[in-house]
Structure 1
Amino acid sequence: MLEWLHIENIAVIEEADIRFQPGFNALTGETGAGKSIVIDALGAVLGGRTSRELIRTGAERAFASAAFSGVSADLPGLAECGAAPDEDGCLVMQREIGSDGRSLCRVGGRPVTVSQMRRVGEELLNIHGQHDGVQLLDEERHVAYLDRFGRTEDVLAAYQASYSAMAELQKKISALRMDEAEKARRMDSLRFQIDELERAQLTPGEEEGLAERRNLLRNGEKYLSALSGADYCLSGGEESGGAVSAIRDAEEALYGIRTLGEEMGRLYERLGALRSEAYDIAETVRDLRESFDFSPAELDAVESRTDLLYRLKKKYGATVEDMLAYLDRCRAELDAMETADDTLARLEKQLTGARKAVEEAGAALTAARKAAAAELEARILRELRDLDMNKVRFAIDFAPREPGADGCDTVRFLMSANVGEDLRPIARIASGGELARIMLALKNVLAEQESVGTLVFDEVDTGVSGRAAQKVAEKLAQVSRRKQVLCVTHLPQLAAMADTHFSVEKGERDGRTYTKVVLLDRERRKAELARITGGAKVTPALLESAGELLDEAEAYRATL
């Protein structure tokens, strides 16, 4: 159950705290006062879509927080985000919306993503917007409503698995059944590319080696000159010794005094190590100088190979490894095309089996849907009778169609509003008030199948008046005995039927518009009902009528 809602800087609401009660909660107020903004705030804190436009002018952020009681630790979605209700079963959900459009979401004090927040919110509260009745006009939604009522998830999942397998086979077969001329062109292109890449005899990692060798060959004279200079300095020439010889002479000079003290001994050892290192370096320099064979022909070959790799990379990949991977793909594609006839025959055989599996799964899904449809028809009709639609007939029509992602059925909701009229699609004959009541009936039936504890109706009374409005009010009162109900309304019948009544009031202060939400006692409820009924001029007669309406509503609730 929704315990309270806290709002900061959302549209015209600077700050508001609303403590909801069990049963039927009604919100009323002048048009534009901000009633639907309360619903928008509630939708935001449950993970609904928002934008920076929701933020109150002049504020840097908007914030909404809601607390729910009686939340089970096993509620779907909680484990995914690592959140949990407290020991009393209370769960707090918070959302902050910044001026940059970004949101900061928390569930049970833990940061979560918007999608995770939405997943949890869907299990706690269901919002029926004032335009939801129009959804009934979209016949593509009818099968989804039926599946939701019939809980056909498992049967539908089995069908969709079979359908996906069949669709994948059809995709493969379609790819193999290309035009023969196009196929020949593609095979010629593949053979050319394979031949060009195979003739190149690519080797992984050769680019790096080529670059290093080319750089060396391009600087051959400089390389040899540097090595020769280093060799002379280290090893000397015919007329003089080099550094190695000088270090050896120094070592021999200290040989006779190496035992005269610890310091002399260490110095002698260091000279010995230095001579060994210098000797190794000199040998390495000499080997490099003697092994380097500068050949203009080799430089030309390296340049040519580098140019070849450059040209191939422009066509087949950014690196040698990428080109080799592309070569493997070309070989595999060419092989598949050369053996296409055999593959096609094999896939056709598999497709026959896949079609049969889809037909069987589709038949099982249709059977499950028809069984659910019979029950849903009866339930909807009972609800419509309660909503003063005694003459209405409602039926769910099935028509076979080609298998699709959601089954092999076209499902349509049909109705007849008047005696003697044929059943026809809802979109063609239902009025606005009838759509609102049918949607309310459907929502009530679906809600009974779900664990959601709170139902929110935003102006569910659109297009409804008179006796029908009273029936809608009674239906919401009945529902509120099983689940908490929040209703934004303009009808006195619905507002009077509520157990708890809030007024959303707009005013001005310091040149700014402010909205507040006020809990009404009986006297203020009478005044609000009189305003709703008679407009700006509230007369004693209207107040007396409002009192009678409250008394009648209280008497009706006592019978539930």
Structure 2
Amino acid sequence: MLELLHIENIAVIEQADIQFRPGFNALTGETGAGKSIVIDAMGAVLGGRTSRDLIRTGSKKAVVSAEFSGVSSDLPGLAECGAEPDEDGLLMIQREIDGDGKNFCRINGRPVTVSQLRALGANLLNIHGQHDGQQLLDEEQHGAYLDRFGRLESALNEYRGVYDAMAELRRSMDALRMDEAEKARKVDSLHFQIDELERAELRSGEDEELQERRDLLRNGEKYLSAVSGADHCLNGDDETGGAVALLQEAENALTHVKGHNGRLEEIWNRLEQLRCEAYDLAETVRDLVGEFDFSPEELDQVESRSDQLYRLKKKYGATVEEMLEYLNRSRRELDEIETADDTLVRLEGQLVKAQKAVSAAGAALTKARKAAASELEQRILKELKDLDMNRVRFSIEFMPKEPVPDGCDAIRFLMSANAGEDLKPIARIASGGELARIMLALKNVLAEQERVGTLVFDEVDTGVSGRAAQKVAEKLAQVSRHKQVLCVTHLPQLAAMADSHFSVEKGEREGRTFTEVVQLDRQRRMAELARLTGGSKVTDALLQSAGELLDEAEAYRKKL
């Protein structure tokens, strides 16, 4: 559960530490005091979207920290972050938001990305905003709700696997289908490109070789002069000997005396090594002189070939290897077009099998959904009765549709708010208060399927009053016995039912607006409940009524 929320420089909150308690926690305050800022801070520390506008005016950065207790080491998302709770099951999450838009996130001191924080946060805390009820009006979301409740990920993934295979076959078949005129144009274009590349007789690595040979030919005279000079020094000519001959003479001069003196023999050995090395080098240089056979015609040929490759590169690829790959692709594409009719026949046979697989997987998914829908209907009706909606009927309707990535079912929630009325789409008959209670019921049922330990309700009481408000308060109290509940509310019934009551209060110091969050004792709770009931004018009668409301709520909680 969420133990501590630390906020620095978020909007009008300069600094606040909120120590939440187990069970039902309520936050109240005047409109504009900053209650929603507390919820925004929770969303931010769990990886929600933020902006620089969230930073308090005059501050360079904002910081939000949250400490969770009872965190299991196998919680989804932890392993991906490389983090784990400490030995007491505590997990500290921190997010810094800089004025330049940068974010710095840490889990138990370990740096993580915002996306990693978001994935983990979804398993720690669930925020139900005051506008979430509008999602019930979007029938596209109804199937997702049902799949979450039924934990149908496995059946859905199996269906998507065969559906994706069928969709890929259809894309392949569409690519092969073209009218005769388009086909003729494409074939002519491919023939021209293939012929042009084949006539070029490309060879891998040829462009590098041409570049090297062209540089050599362009500087041929300079290279030949240098190599010839080295050859003359090593090999000499008809009149003078070169270095090899001189080393040979020196070696011969010492041959007859090398055996009489150790140092002379060492010198002779070194001379022999030098002469052998010089001989090999001289032969290499002499061969190189022979290789430098330059002619203007060869340079013209190399330049012409380089120009040809340059023109081809502009059309088919930056290197010879890329052009060869383009040639192979063109050959394959031409072959596919020329054999398209045969390929289509083969793919049509595969498509028939794929459609049968999709139909079978879709039927299995539908069967699993209908089983889950039957249970969900009963669970929702039970929750709605607890929320004083005894006459409501709730049903999940299935209509077949063409296979799409999420299945073959059009799913929508139907309800009848009053006795004798037909079941109709929720969007057509549900009032704001009814939507809020239906969404609360759905959230409660789904929460039982998840490991999330904390549920946050931001003004879940919108459109609810009187007896219905009391039922919502009792339902939240029931939920808080197995999940921590945090609720922002304007209703005294909900605030009174809370185990812990926090007040969000806005004030002014030195010309700046400040917001504080304080936990209320019984006397201050009575005053706050009286304010919620009667507005700014708090009378003794209102205070007495608030005390009675607290006593009744405490008595109800003891029964749970």
TM-score, structure 1 normalization: 0.95
Which residue is equivalent to 1:529? 529
Residue deviations 1:91-119, cap 9 Å, x none? Answer: 22222222232222222333222222222
> For residues 415-430 of structure 1, what are the structure 2 equivalents within 5 Å?
415-430=415-430
Matches within 5 A, 1:157-236: 157-236=157-236
CA shift at 1:223, angstroms? Answer: 2.0
Q: C-alpha root-mean-square deviation of aligned residues, in Å?
A: 2.1
Aligned ranges 1:112-511 → 2 under 5 Å = 112-247=112-247, 270-511=270-511
Q: Structure 1 residues 436, 294: CA separation in 2 closer, same or farther (over 3 Å shift)?
A: same
Question: What's the counterpart of residue 91 of structure 2?
Answer: 91
Q: Equivalents in 2 of 1:265, 1:41: separation in Å?
A: 91
Q: Which amino acid aligns with 1:353?
A: K
Normalized against structure 2, the TM-score is what?
Answer: 0.95
What amino acid does structure 2 have at the position aligned with 1:455? L
Q: Report the Cα offset of residue 27 of structure 1.
A: 0.7
Once residues 477 and 260 of structure 2 are traced to their aligned partners in structure 1, the CA distance between those partners, rounded to angstroms, is 112
Partner of 2:27: 27
SS at match of 2:123: helix
Between Structure 1 and Structure 2, how many residues are aligned?
560
Which range is displaced more, 38-47 or 305-314?
Answer: 38-47
Call closer, same or farther: CA 1:32–1:282 in 2, change over 3 Å: same
CA distance in 2, matches of 1:126, 1:452: 7
Instruction: Please list every run of 5 or more consecutive structure 1 residues that lacks an aligned counterpart in the other structure.
Output: none
What CA distance in whole angstroms lies between the structure 1 residues aligned with 2:438 and 2:114?
Answer: 32
Deviation at 1:495, TM superposition (A): 0.7
The one-letter amino acid paired with 1:432 is G
Secondary structure at the aligned position of 1:130 is classed as: coil
Aligned to 1:6: 6
The Cα offsets for residues 390-442 of structure 1, whole Å up to 9 and x where unpaired, read as: 23222211111111111111111122223333222111222222211111111
Moved more, 302-311 or 100-109: 100-109
Q: CA deviation at 1:446?
A: 0.8
For the structure 1 residues 523 and 339, does the alpha-carbon distance in structure 2 shift closer, same or farther, using more than 3 Å as the test?
A: same
SS at match of 1:400: strand
The answer as to 2:514 corresponding to 1:551 is no
Single out whichever of 397-406 and 427-436 deviates more from structure 2: 427-436
Instruction: Give the match's secondary structure for 1:441.
Output: helix
Aligned to 2:54: 54
Aligned to 2:37: 37
User: Is 1:75 matched up with 2:75?
Assistant: yes
* Greater mean alpha carbon deviation, residues 24-33 or residues 369-378: 369-378
Distance 2:412 2:182 in 1: 44
Cα shift at 1:45? 1.8
Residues in 2 aligned to 1:268 and 1:522: alpha-carbon distance in whole angstroms:
112
Q: How many Å apart are 1:554 and its aligned residue?
A: 1.2
Q: Distance in 1 between matches of 2:40 and 2:129?
A: 10
Partners of 1:328 and 1:487 lie apart in 2 by 65
Deviations 1:346-397 (A, max 9, x none): 1111111111111111112112112221221222122122222223222211
Shift of 1:297: 1.8
Identical-pair percentage: 75
Q: How far apart in 2 are the matches of 1:403 and 1:318?
A: 44
Q: 1:513 matched to which residue of 2?
A: 513
Aligned amino acid, residue 120 of structure 2: V
How far 1:126 sits from its partner (Å)? 0.9
Taking the aligned partners of 2:406 and 2:396, their CA distance within structure 1 comes to 17
- Residue 129 of structure 1, CA deviation: 0.8
Q: 176-185 vs 135-144, which deviates more?
A: 176-185
Residue aligned with 1:123, SS: coil
Paired AA for residue 73 in structure 2: A
| Structure 1 position 164, deviation (Å) | 1.1
CA distance in 2, matches of 1:42, 1:258: 95
1:262 to 1:40, Cα distance in 2 relative to 1, 3 A:
farther
- Per the TM alignment, residue 76 of structure 1 is displaced from its structure 2 partner at its CA by 1.8
Tell me by how many angstroms 1:253 deviates: 6.9
